Structure formats: C-alpha cells, structure tokens
Structure 1
Amino acid sequence: MATTIAQFENVGLRYGTGAETLSDVSFSLDTGGFYFLTGPSGAGKTSLLKLLYLSQRPSRGLIRLFDTDVVTLARDRLPGFRRRIGVVFQDFRLVPHLSTFDNIALPLRVAGVEESELVSPVNEMLAWVGLADRASARPATLSGGEQQRVAIARAVIHRPEILIADEPTGNVDPEMAARLLHLFDALNKLGTTMVVATHDIHLLSRVSNAQMMRLDSGRLADPTGLLRNPPREAGRGRRPKPGA
C-alpha cells in the first residue's frame, strides 16, 4: 500500500494584502509517485513549488511533509527537512565561478562531507548525466542543456526523497527535453518522488504512470480526479547509462 510523502489541506497563499495566489489547495503525493504540475502562466505553479520545498510558508491551511506538520515547524529544523528535498530551478542557479564538478559537489560540502569522500559520488553523477568530460568547465561555457543536467546532478547528489523541477524543459530543444525526462524517469524508478512543473502537457505521455495536477487561477482543477495511475513500487530500476 502506498504511503503519503506530502499532504496539502485547504492551503492558501497570499503575498501582502493582495488576492490569494493559491486558494483552498488540497492534494496528497504518494511516495514513489511521478507528478506533473501543469497550468497557464500565472496559475500559481511556482508558488506551490515554493511551499513544497519549504522556501515559503502558507497563509493558511495544513502542509505535512514526511509525516510532519511543516507549517509550524521550528526554523532550526527546516534545514534538515530541506536536505530531504532536491530542487531543479528554472534558471539553474549554478555558481558561476565554480566548475561543473564543484557545482555538483556543493551540497555535499555544505553538509560537511570530507573531500576524500565526495570525489567518487560526484564523478559517478557526472557520468550519469553524461558530463564526465565537462567536469572542469564553468557554467558560462556550457550549453543550456548541459547547465540543466548540472542542476539536476546537484539536486540529486544527496539522494533526496522528493525531487522538484520547475519548467526543466522550458529552455532546451525537444531532443534534450526527452533526455532530461529520461533521467527523471530513471530517478523515479529508483524510488524518488518526482514533481515536475511544466507548460508542456505532451510530456505527460512520455512517462507511463505519471499523474497530473492542473492549477488554474490558484486552484486545483478537479482535485478528486488527479490520480490517473498508481505510483511505481519504490526502489526498482537502474540508473541509465552515462550520457543517456
């Protein structure tokens, strides 16, 4: 039986004194599920993701992550919860003066991993995303697709339980979009819960058991009919070959 990794109940989000950006949002995410978050520009997708990766607190409602109420969670406990979540930002947010290797290694260094212990996992991740030959390159010399793969590798180097990606295919060509989706699908088969925000609903058909959530004007459309198929059993599958 699937377990719930995240739950929103009647969540609302308001910036300042304006109208609510999100209103009465309720849903749950099953461990090991693959979810696409869709909707038009301005629907509130990025705001919902911010709530999910704990960079924003809601104005009202309940949010539970990892079986814990995170709305009332003490601030000193937030870093520990955030380490269980990987985020691929739409604008990559790579550190410009760091090499590909060092950008990917950054979360491990922040977590206090010894230099001698991070070389192997970073090299493995470089091979996994097909960038072993670009380890010393700076972000400015990388293509958009290469920067996106660095961002993905950095987001998953610490083995997050949830991976959140905000429009990860928005700035790459269709061939690269397919490669990135292949990486996400492989991660999901290993047991990572995936949440991918996208305008491109055609991506949904490329993941066999993906489920869709659609936001419209800050509300979930048909919240009772979100789940199309049950999520895969977590922990199955292998990483793709280097360069996949």
Structure 2
Amino acid sequence: MANIVQFEQVGLRYGSGPETLSDISFSLAPGAFYFVTGASGAGKTSLLKLLYLAQRPSRGVIRLFGEDAVMLPRHRLPGFRRRIGVVFQDFRLVPHLSAYENVALPLRIAGIADDEIDEPVREMLAWVGLLQRAGSRPATLSGGEQQRIAIARAVIGRPEMLVADEPTGNVDPEMADRLLHLFVSLNKLGTTVVVATHDFHMLGRIPDARMMRIDKGRLDDPTGALRHPPRPVE
C-alpha cells in the first residue's frame, strides 16, 4: 500500500453554513508520524473526524486503507473503525464501566478471548500509571487520569492508525513525556500516528515527524517536515 490515507480536494460543510474545510489534499504514509497544528477553530478536529470516519465529506475523495471511504457501505464502517485508534478530546469513556473494562473494550469488541485480555490490559494500565485504579469508574478519576485511560483504550489493540486530539492537554509534563513514549513505541511497531496538538514541547521530540498546519480550513504545506531540528525522545 503506497499510502494509508489519501485526501483529494476534500471539503466539509456543516448544514448550510460555509465550508469548515476547503480543498484539502494530502496523503499519509504507513508507519509515519504526523502532527496537525493550527489556531483554535482552524479545523483540526474536523479533519480528524474525517480521518476516523465520524464525518463524511461534503465533496472530494477520501481513500483509507486502499479503499474509497466516502462510498464505503454502512455495514463495513465498524470493521474499518476497529483499525483506527482514537483519542478524543472529551475522552468518551463508558461511565458505567471500570477503568479496566474501558481499556479492555476494544479487545472484547474484536472477539479476543477473556483469558487473553487480562495481561495486556494490566500492562497497559501499568504503562499509563493507573493499574491501582483499575476498578475505578470514570466519574471518580481526575481529568488527567481519564485522559490516560482514553489513551490506553485507543492503543491497546495496536491499531493501524492512531488519531489523537490534544492527547496531553490534561496531564503534567512528566506524564506527557510518558505518553509520548507510548505513541513513539506504537509508531515503531508500524502504526501511522496523527496527533493534533498545541503542545510545542511535543513538536520537537519526534525525529522525522511531519507537520500539517490548518489555517482557516485550508491545509498549509501538507508534506513539510518540522522546521526546527527535533530532539529525539530519550
């Protein structure tokens, strides 16, 4: 597969209002790491929604995993979405499930046997520093803890593509670095990673990362590498 994602002259309009995104064209290579930046309201979240199939474009072509995602039959959408890990800005944890069960959810949906779930879930909870809160429900967790559970849930299935919207916005710098290590490790295993962020600390830490900048609904320099020398994650 030459590209895991291909956008061609994509536009997005909500209702009868003006276009939120206009003439968006870019491609994402398998196993690459991308940052999406831009001012608040520039269209970053809307672009991510198109990537993880929560929104269909108003016009243009989107190819995902080698197939036309715009014309994809509805019954095939769940299978496509399971190939994409998503970290939402508002977490979207299932409130009546424990932290453990929230992280385990993608594996259960994928049909993984119960006796093969416990070890990876506990390892992931330990990685994000929340093994001791495994039995806690989301309402009892802080915003930062909920963010870490959401990230653990998004990456546990080793998705082909990870899409993260401001993934370090609710954690301290030390935990942000830890989560960044997690994204880098997943990327080294072959996952294409797309992170929307305002955190300039993150932007300089990934060797060979590429930056896509959204400005007023349009993409600026979609293939440009970071313009300052990145410092590798240690």
- Which stretch of the first structure deviates more once superposed, 124-133 or 166-175? 124-133
Asked if the contact 2:21/2:218 (under 8 Å) is kept, the reply is yes
Report if the CA contact (8 A) 1:6-1:66 is conserved: yes
Using structure 2 for the length normalisation, give the TM-score.
Answer: 0.91
Deviation of 1:193 (Å): 0.7
CA deviations 1:154-185 (Å, max 9, x no partner) are 11222210000001112222222222212111
Identity of aligned pairs, percent?
73
Cα distance, 1:97 vs structure 2: 2.2
Deviation of the 1:128 alpha carbon: 2.8
Q: Report the secondary structure of 1:4's partner residue.
A: coil
Is the contact made by 1:37 and 1:213 (CA closer than 8 Å) also made in structure 2? yes
Query: Does the alignment pair 1:182 with 2:181?
Result: yes
1:128-174 Cα deviation digits (max 9, x unpaired) = 32322221122233233322221111112222100000011122222
Closer/same/farther in 2, CA of residues 70 and 199 from structure 1, 3 Å limit? same
Counterparts of 1:207-226 in structure 2, within 5 Å, are 207-223=206-222, 225-226=223-224
Mapped partners of 1:118, 1:42: distance in 2: 39
- Does the 8 Å CA contact 1:38/1:201 hold for their aligned counterparts? no
What amino acid is the match of 1:111? A
| Paired residues of 2:164 and 2:196 also in contact (CA < 8 A) | yes
Amino acid at match of 1:128: W
CA RMSD of aligned residues (A): 1.7
Aligned positions of 1:39-118 closer than 5 A: 39-118=38-117
**How big is each residue's C-alpha offset from its partner over 1:51-87, in whole Å with a ceiling of 9 and x where there is no partner?**
0000111011110111101111111111110000000
The one-letter code matched in structure 2 to 1:210 is A
Q: What's the counterpart of residue 232 of structure 2?
A: none
Distance 1:200 1:157 in 2: 24
Q: How many residue pairs are counted as aligned between the two chains?
A: 227
Alignment of 1:12-27 (within 5 A): 12-27=11-26
Query: After the TM superposition, which of the residue ranges 111-120 and 66-75 deviates more from structure 2?
Result: 111-120
The 8 Å contact of residues 12 and 57 in structure 2, kept in 1 or not, is answered as: yes
CA distance in 2, matches of 1:83, 1:65: 13
User: For residues 209 and 113 of structure 1, what CA distance do their matches in structure 2 show?
Assistant: 34
Q: Which runs of 5+ in 2 are unaligned?
A: 228-234
Give the aligned residue type for 2:9. N
When the two structures are superposed, what TM-score results if normalisation uses the length of structure 1?
0.87
Q: CA deviation at 1:192?
A: 1.1
Moved over 3 A (4+): none
User: Is this contact kept in 1: 2:7–2:26, CA < 8 A?
Assistant: yes
Shift in Å, 1:213: 0.2
1:123/1:175 Cα in 2 relative to 1: closer, same or farther (>3 Å)?
closer
Structure 1 distance, partners of 2:171, 2:103, is 20
Task: Quote the offset at 1:32 in angstroms.
Answer: 0.6
Q: CA deviation at 1:13?
A: 0.4
Deviation for aligned residue 1:228: 5.1
Amino acid across the alignment from 1:79: P
Q: 2: distance between equivalents of 1:17 and 1:8?
A: 23
Provide the C-alpha distance between the structure 1 equivalents of 2:203 and 2:39, rounded to a whole number of angstroms.
Answer: 16
Q: Is the 8 A contact 2:151 2:167 kept in 1?
A: no
Tell me, yes or no, if the aligned pair for 1:145 and 1:176 is still in contact at 8 Å.
Answer: no
Q: 1:172 to 1:126 in 2, by over 3 A?
A: closer
Q: Larger deviation: 78-87 or 142-151?
A: 142-151
Q: Partner letter of residue 122 of structure 1? A: V
